[in-house]
Amino acid sequence: MPYDKMRAIVTRGHGGPKVLRTEEIERPKARGRKILIEVRAAGVNPVDWRIRRGELRPLSALAPRRVPGRDVAGVVVAVGDEVRGFEVGDRVFAMLDGISGGGYAEYAVVGEDAVALMPRNLSFEEAAAVPLAALTAAQAIRDALREVVRNAPHACDTGQLVRRKVLVNGASGGVGTFAVQFAKISGAEVTAVCSAANAGLVGELGAYHVIDYEEEDFARYEERYDVIFDVVGNRSFGACKGALRSAGVYVTTEPGPRNFLSQLATMPAHKKARIVLVKPSGEELSLLKQLFEVGRLRVILDSVYPLEEAAEAHAHGETGHARGKIVLRVDR
């Protein structure tokens, strides 16, 4: 293949998994503060198939030809002349921005701010599973717990340690497996909602209680939580309000109009509704790197597909029952 070309998965319109085709396209270039990564593995996320289906048209309508993919792990092969923190040969992982995407390819270009050195104890496949899902979970749990403390500072004034209770709905998927671990690391008592088949997994990750969503409705449970993190996005703030403690926060991954309205309406209220919109951050990935290296965080890989089988990987993910993360491996 000519030096300036690469293999990539390309979509030229919306549709089913079959619109994901392997093509030979221009290799991107590293300029300014950008880094060129030789991609060894790329993470697969629900946002990839939501864009592919045309559900997020403002994002996907911008480019007639699109390379999906927000997560990559690989080796730095070139840096722009303003890059200071990385050099050729570094093993890195990164989260690409939502408009350009570009992860399902042999090479990807990323701004320096969204890149971090890879955890030394992870494979490329494991590292590619981390950025978008783990940053979503970390940012959602961190911000919600901060808000709980801000809403009820008196709970800390007594000098007694308050054990926070966090519930994660959708605990066995890409975001959920990280959310359970971050809630546990932050010292909370974690309740995980998933199917019975995944109860053992979420228990290993740190859940103290497990609710099987096929048997019980957590929103009608007698327990009250400081944070309800609805990763699946199938429960509204209204449905969860009764299950929140007095200064509790409901946070959802689903940025629909109903949730935006709830967020606005609860600004002055004690119980809050929040939407998490993940932001790329190399700095936060560096913190996660440390947690992996000291054994406080784990990656749960559902499956690894060759890059050319991106359509199969999407079809599998779209069942809605991945156990951890799906990843594409880039063979050379």
Ligand X SMILES: NC(=O)c1ccc[n+]([C@@H]2O[C@H](COP(=O)([O-])OP(=O)(O)OC[C@H]3O[C@@H](n4cnc5c(N)ncnc54)[C@H](OP(=O)(O)O)[C@@H]3O)[C@@H](O)[C@H]2O)c1
| Binding segment (CB under 6 A) for ligand X, from list 33-41, 61-69, 92-100, 129-137 | 129-137
172 binds ligand X (CB under 6 A): yes
The interface mask with ligand X, positions 36-55, x = CB under 6 A, is ---------xxx--x-----
Q: Which two tokens stand for residue 232?
A: 């699946």
Torsion sign over Cα 14, 70, 304, 181: negative
DSSP 160: P
**Nearer to ligand X (CB atom), residue 115 or residue 194:** 194
322 binds ligand X (CB under 6 A): yes
**Nearer to ligand X (CB atom), residue 36 or residue 300:** 300
Contacts of 262 (CB under 8 A, 6+ apart): 236, 237, 238, 250, 273
Of residues 194-233, those binding ligand X (CB under 6 A): 194-195, 197-198, 213, 231-233
Q: Which two tokens stand for residue 299?
A: 């990656």
130 binds ligand X (CB under 6 A): no
Question: Do 73 and 128 form a contact (C-beta atoms < 8 A)?
Answer: yes
Cα 1-52-30 angle, rounded to 5 deg: 45
State how far Cα 95 lies from the chain centre. 10
Contacts of 57 (CB under 8 A, 6+ apart): none
134 binds ligand X (CB under 6 A): no
* Position with the least CB separation from ligand X: 173
Q: Tokens 């309800």 label which residue?
A: 228
262 binds ligand X (CB under 6 A): no
Contacts of 306 (CB under 8 A, 6+ apart): 328, 329, 331
**Nearer to ligand X (CB atom), residue 122 or residue 231:** 231
168 binds ligand X (CB under 6 A): no
**Nearer to ligand X (CB atom), residue 260 or residue 294:** 260
Q: Torsions phi, psi of 194, nearest 5?
A: -160, -175
| Count, residues near ligand X per rule CB under 6 A | 34
263 binds ligand X (CB under 6 A): no
Q: Which residues contact ligand X by CB under 6 A?
A: 45-47, 50, 132-133, 136, 169-170, 172-176, 193-195, 197-198, 213, 231-234, 253, 255, 276-278, 317, 320-323
